[in-house]
A and B are shown apart, each in its own frame.
Chain A
Amino acid sequence: MDFSVFFQPAFSGGGIYLDWVLSGIKWTLLVSIFGWVIAFTVGSVVGVMRTTPLAVLRAPATAYVEVFRNIPLLVQMFIWYFVLPEIVPRGMGDWLKTRMPMPEFWNAVLCLGFYTASRVAEQVRSGIQSIPRGQTEAGLAMGLTRWQVYRHVLLPMGYRIVIPPLTSEFLTIFKNSSVALTIGVLELTAQARQISEYTFRTFEVFTIATVVYVLITLTVTVAMRALEKKVRVPGFIGTESGAPPAGH
């Protein structure tokens, strides 16, 4: 067990192997955070759409969730990166293939974002549906439009209720960012693999990678608990429902 490997000169690019690890961490964080921005916004919209009484809004939202949840993330990555530039109109396809900056990164971000959005949509939907119907009806009886009911009554409570599962989804997106290595994003797992191939120190390198992921998880969990404490509504204990949702 020789951890000094990280301070040895790297094979290429000058600098030491630790720089590769830091670069990997940077790309993991970037992919995950950008992906989460998409996931949270799109997921909230789709989740709200699934709870409306209008079938014309509900049906596409349900279709979206079913499609993006039932296709593996790896397959979706490949479709975004390899298939999409082929089936869009010629001009856009050429731009995507030749002139797009950092195509691997943006494809990974979009893919992760839309995949996670479907899971966020489910959480938001379950959060809204767990609020008693009386709240909605009272809001409508007071003359609020349906949109105002969502904005002032349902969503504030709904988001507070689902902070624990949303935390879990946020952590999942960090872990799923590793799938981006299949289309060439040099995030942490990819860099770990590369270093281990150059130095043959697989044990030390993968240990560091695992430690970093565990630290990310711990940090996010602690931060989310603090957030939950801060936004908790006194007297209303939003507990995580009985069994944990499946998945990772």
Chain B
Amino acid sequence: MFTGFDLDVIQRSLPYLGQGMLFTLGLTLLSMLGGIILGTLLALMRLANFKVLNVPAAGYVNLLRSTPLILVIFWFYFLVPIAIKKLSGDAYAEGLGPFHSALIAFTLFEAAYYCEIIRAGIQSVPRGQVHAAYALGLTYAQAMMKVVLPQAFRNMVPILLTQGIILFQDTSLVYVVGLTDFMGAASKVAQRDGRLVEMYLFAALVYFVLCFSASHCVKRLQLHYNVGR
């Protein structure tokens, strides 16, 4: 029975919600970092001319982009302990725990999306730049590092950040393996106190404010980058 808003429940549970938010932010930032690093590697593999690098990277990216994130989370939640047991040879080895499984899952999942963004960013640099770099005698590595990547980065950064905001929203899915991120914390308080309406609406409001302001900042960054074009 809905007897009117009880805003006190939000105030009482702010510390717990704060912990959840720290968890969410930590998972987001670590996955973003890992995802960008792995994604850059995958992008370079996909851009290489060697089939032995090209095909596995393309297969990996297409596989992970066709699979729902929840399924990937389940995969790693169940697989990581098994993998650790096999690798360490010890049948009773402890898994790393759900946080690390989730971290691995998110990193590998986002790497596929970051790979596509980075690859498109690198391909958006005109070929003439690469030709000019080679004409000046730069090696492939120098051309990449000094000419192509700085320009590609300018194009990429707003989209990379937007993908980061999407990742921030997607970390709420760790709910399905019982981890307590911000949404999980709000949910637990809601179920304990019977205050579903207030807590879920509050969670929605917090996500909205954070994501809206973040995407607004990204837009301003994009305008800043576009000065002088």
Do A213 and B113 have beta carbons less than 8 Å apart? no
Query: Contact residues of A with B, CB < 8 Å?
Result: 66-67, 69-76, 78-79, 82-83, 86-87, 93, 171, 174-179, 181-182, 189, 192-193, 196, 202-203, 206, 209-210, 213-214, 216-218, 242-248
Contact in complex: B208, A82 (CB < 8 Å): no
Q: How far is the CB of B196 from chain A (nearest CB, A)?
A: 5
Contact present for A189 and B163 (CB under 8 Å)? no
B2 touching A87 by the CB < 8 A rule? yes
Chain B residue numbers with a CB within 8 Å of A82 are 196-197, 200
Q: How far is the CB of B107 from chain A (nearest CB, A)?
A: 15
B162–A246 CB distance below 8 A: yes
Closest CB in chain B relative to A108 CB, distance in Å: 13
Complexed CA–CA distance, A223 and B58 (Å) = 21
Task: Map CB proximity to A onto B66-107 as digits: 1 under 8 Å, 0 otherwise.
Answer: 111111001100110000000000000000000000000000
Q: How far is the CA of A76 from the CA of B2 in the complex (A)?
A: 19
Q: Nearest CB to that of A245 among chain B residues?
A: B159
* Contact, CB under 8 Å: B172 / A213: no
**Can you pick out 18 interface pairs between chain A and chain B where the beta carbons lie within 8 Å of each other?**
A67-B208, A70-B208, A71-B204, A71-B211, A72-B170, A75-B204, A82-B197, A93-B2, A175-B67, A178-B71, A193-B74, A203-B78, A210-B63, A210-B75, A214-B67, A242-B124, A243-B120, A243-B121
Complex-state Cα separation, A243 to B113, whole angstroms: 12
Please pick, from B120, B197, B207, the residue contacting A242 in the complex, using a CB distance under 8 A: B120
Nearest 10 pairs of A and B residues by beta carbon: A70-B211, A217-B66, A178-B68, A72-B169, A246-B163, A175-B68, A246-B162, A243-B120, A86-B2, A72-B172
> How far is the CB of A225 from the nearest CB of chain B, in Å?
15
Supplied contacts A175-B68, A182-B176, A193-B74, 15 more A-B pairs, CB within 8 Å: A74-B172, A74-B175, A75-B172, A75-B204, A78-B187, A79-B201, A175-B66, A175-B67, A177-B68, A182-B175, A189-B71, A210-B75, A216-B66, A243-B120, A244-B120
- The answer to whether B166 touches A246, judged by C-beta atoms less than 8 angstroms apart, is yes
Instruction: Spell out B's residues near A (CB within 8 Å).
Output: 2, 63, 65-71, 74-75, 78-79, 113, 116-117, 120-121, 124, 155-156, 159-160, 162-163, 166, 169-170, 172-173, 175-176, 183, 187, 196-197, 200-201, 203-204, 207-208, 211-212, 215
Residues of B within 8 A of A206 (CB): 71, 74-75, 78
Q: Which of B67, B71, B156, B197 contacts A87 (CB 8 A)?
A: B197
Out of B70, B162, B175, name the residue touching A178 (CB < 8 Å).
B70
B79, B172, B173, most chain A CB atoms within 10 A: B172
Given known A75-B172, A78-B187, contact A213–B200 (CB-CB < 8 A):
no
CB distance from A94 to the nearest CB of B (A): 11
How many angstroms between the C-alpha atoms of A152 and B204 in the bound complex? 40
Q: Are B116 and A72 in contact (CB under 8 A)?
A: no
Q: Which residues of A contact B204 (CB under 8 A)?
A: 71, 75-76, 79
With beta carbons under 8 angstroms apart, the residue of A67, A189, A216 that contacts B70 is A189
**B155 near A243: Cβ-Cβ < 8 Å:** yes
Minimum CB–CB distance for A136 against chain B, Å: 25
Report the minimum CB–CB distance from B109 to chain A (whole Å).
Answer: 8
Contacts of A203 in B (CB 8 A): 78-79
Residues A181 and B66 in contact in the complex (CB < 8 Å), given A70-B207, A79-B201, A82-B196 = no
Q: In the bound complex, do residue B155 and residue A242 qualify as a contact, i.e. CB atoms below 8 Å apart?
A: yes
**Bound CA span A189–B69, Å:** 10
* A245, B165: Cα distance in complex, Å: 13
Instruction: Please state if A209 and B196 are interface contacts (CB–CB under 8 Å).
Output: no
> Which residues of A have CB within 8 Å of B183?
72, 74-75
Q: How far is the CA of A2 from the CA of B124 in the complex (A)?
A: 46
Whether B71 lies near A210 (C-beta < 8 A) is: yes
**Chain B residues with CB under 8 A of A174:** 68
B70 and A243 form a contact (CB under 8 A): no
| Cβ–Cβ < 8 Å partners of A179 in chain B | 68, 70, 173
Say which residue of B63, B69, B212 sits within 8 Å of A70 (CB atoms).
B212
Q: Known contacts A78-B187, A83-B201, A213-B66: does B124 contact A196 (CB below 8 Å)?
A: no
